[in-house]
Structure 1
Amino acid sequence: MRDIRLLDAMFTPSALIDPFTQANPGLGGVCTFVGEVRSDSGVEALELTHYEPLTLPGMHDLADRVFGRFDLMGLLMVHRVGLMVPGEPIVCVSAAARHRRDAIDAVDFCMDHLKSAAWFWKREKRAGPEGSAWHWIEPRGQDHHDLARWEAM
């Protein structure tokens, strides 16, 4: 099973993960990562914009690479765009496999690519001494390091 989506409205991860798990009978394990808008450091909102002609096709290309690299039964990759507030889910990646390592590594691979080499621009609105202001977010050095380790494997 392959379920790749780009959403512009809030989603409930369990409403996606439960049917995904049920659609993969005989699996040995499911690994899931859900990323949410952080509520620390005065974050009031997060906005993700994207280049529509590349985003969903790029997510499908990433899924192709994941299926080519790991022995999976299924992959769920859902990413949100638009304006979000702290606590709202941004991304949900779930992999089903006969063996746990393939599921765990597939989710890790997806997240490293979505975090550092994807088609999204992020900015945060933070509270400050002079009021709220928007700030662009770039991938951190650690994000690039995490992505680079897949090239060595």
Structure 2
Amino acid sequence: MADIEIRVQSNAFAITYGYPETLNGRTDIGAVVSFTGLVRDFNEAPEVTGLSLEHYPGMTEKTLHAIAEQAWQRWPLQAVRVVHRVGHLQPGDPIVRVLVASAHRRDAFQACDFIMDLLKTEAPFWKKEHAKSGDYWVKERHTDQADAQRWSSS
């Protein structure tokens, strides 16, 4: 059975989220790879003062779980953890953390990268940045789609 945990929440999470719980005395894990995304103080506009994240409750968790399941099927993994924030965030706040455990580092690296690429393009999140010059919805980037597409050919 897949050891997958998905959380979408408004409250902050620890930068170490998922790590101690995943290891918990296990000796079959040879690699733990994680990615933590943070709110920057710049993006489409300079001087970003904050970010508001909205999502589609229920559908978001279902989509994230499906992405984690795809990773589970592609690589031999021991655990997958995904936590994503919603609500209002400040520059420097963590937005997302993906943690992947596997017996081997390459599988863990690739699965973590895969999950982030698909999360960026498939999960129903909407971002509004607040900047000194005004608020605006963040547009999808061509590079995000290109990153996700590379997995369909491998």
Match of 2:140 in 1: 139
Q: 2:118 aligns with which of 101, 113, 118?
A: 113
1:45 corresponds to which letter in structure 2? G
Q: Which residue of 2 aligns with 1:6?
A: 8
Instruction: State the 1:24 CA deviation.
Output: 4.2
Aligned to 1:151: 152
Name which of 64, 73, 81 aligns with 1:76: 81
Judged with a 3 Å threshold, the aligned counterparts in structure 2 of structure 1 residues 44 and 2 are, in CA distance, closer, same or farther, namely same
CA 1:23 to 1:43, structure 2 compared with 1: closer, same or farther past 3 Å?
A: farther
- In structure 2, the partner of 1:56 is 61
Distance apart, 1:17 and its partner CA: 2.2
Cα 1:73–1:42 change in 2 (3 A) is same
Structure 1 unaligned blocks of 5 or more: none
Q: Determine which structure has the larger helix proportion and give its number.
A: 1
Residues 11 and 101 from structure 1, CA distance in 2 versus in 1: closer, same or farther, beyond 3 angstroms?
same
CA RMSD in angstroms comes to: 1.3
Conserved in 2, the CA contact under 8 Å of 1:46 and 1:84?
Answer: yes
Structure 2: segments with no counterpart, 5+ residues: none
Deviations 1:82-101, CA, capped at 9 Å, x for gaps: 11001110000010000111
CA contact (8 A) 1:24 1:96 kept: no
How much identity, in percent, do the aligned residues show? 36
Give, as a single letter, the amino acid of the residue that structure 1 aligns with 2:21: P
The 3-state SS of whatever aligns with 1:26 is coil
Following TM superposition, the consecutive aligned residue runs of length 4 or more in structure 1 with deviations greater than 2 angstroms are: 15-26
Aligned residues between the structures: 149
Deviations 1:55-93 (CA, angstroms, capped at 9, x unpaired): 111111111111111110000111111110011100000
